[in-house]
Amino acid sequence: MNTRIYLDHAATTRLHSKALEAMRPYLEDEFGNPSGMYDLGKEAAGAIERARSSVASGLGCRPQEVVFTGPGTESINAAIKGVAFAKQLAGLGNHIVTSSIEHHAVLHSCDYLAKFGFETTFVPVDAFGTVDPDEVAHAINERTVLVSVMLANNEVGTLEPLPEIAEVVQRRAKSLRRRISLHTDAVQGANALDLDVKRLGVDLLSLSAHKFGGPKGAGVLYMRRGTPFLEQLSGGGQERQRRAGTENVAGIVGTAAALTEAQANREQYSKLCGQLSRQLIEGILQSVPAARLSGHSEQRLPNNVHFSFEGTQSDAMLEALDDLGIAASAGSACTSATWEPSHVLTAMGMPLGRAAGVLRLTCGPENRAEEIDRVLSILPRVVSESRAKASSGLSAK
């Protein structure tokens, strides 16, 4: 078999060599507990604070505004639940605004809060998966305490107009004479997008290290100073009482190293992945009948290629590609058990026949043009065979 071609960088990325190098001492000799009052503990604590300063530099914020968490899901849960509960306890409201295409970590957090009296307005998106800032403004009311809109969609790659959304949130908050916090799930953005929190206009921002060359199970929550927050993990009071639990020193150090590399190489990453993505998009449109690009054609992550193929089934295509040494995904487009379409694609108005047959191909800096050529030489046959299989299945019924 030929060398495997990995095109699922939206799912996870290879650990960056500099992240591994930074982590190694804290996986071996420098194993101390950061709460310890001896040299090993002090070294671990110092490593965490150096990492905090490094991450703060990448986000354009104060080190004290950086909270190290477990995975991105925890960061998102902490942001949404922590702010919502704090404001509810203060009698400030019980209403949240988010979009209909958020990651399940956001949507399920809102579902969880409904058990405690919160209401959520889900703002619609257009056919490209774009959130209209005016729709966000319209959804805000006198009980709104939090707005959460992702920076870039994890399935179709569409970039959201976050600075414009921040502007309308601030304007509505001022007119209602209240403070409304703005959170963004920026998990997919660190490799290609500017994460400066002042430019974005956000109060909270969530990251997951393994999406940008860091270790799995490590994440970051930026929290603007003064943002009301009720901790979701109670215990020893680590992270300035915001996230209890013995710190994952190696994971934190690796996260900081990976984020530094990702932000320093954004332009190079975007150029390389953009070229590979355009090669994929143009090749698929030319060689696969009835293929349709999902998401915005221009305002999208440079490494994301998401196509729908009417009359196909995602699982059949993915299995065939895997057999041929190509790792891809369908996002969360459907499951073989239920054949339910992705909530993202449904929100975009994609018909079920298309939503059941999609592929997400996400490039990374280690991919090469010759790998894309190989994928393009294989994909037309894979789609054709999937269509034939799906058609024969329908005929048999």
Q: Look up 334 and say whether it is catalytic.
A: yes
Q: How far is CA 149 from the centre of its chain?
A: 11
Catalytic pick among 61, 110, 273, 334 = 334
**d(C-alpha 211, C-alpha 166), whole Å:** 25
Supply the DSSP string of 156-170, one letter for each residue. Answer: T-BBP-HHHHHHHHH
**d(C-alpha 40, C-alpha 29), whole Å:** 9
Could you count the other beta carbons within 10 Å of the beta carbon of residue 84? 29
77, amino acid identity: N
Could you count the other beta carbons within 10 Å of the beta carbon of residue 258? 28
CB 144 within 8 A of CB 180: yes
CB 66 within 8 A of CB 95: no
**d(C-alpha 4, C-alpha 13), whole Å:** 15
Q: Outline where the chain has alpha helix (H).
A: 17-27, 39-59, 72-89, 104-114, 133-139, 162-176, 197-200, 238-241, 249-264, 266-287, 314-323, 343-347, 352-355, 369-396
- 117 HSE (CA, 13 A, CB side): 9
Provide the annotated active-site residues: 334
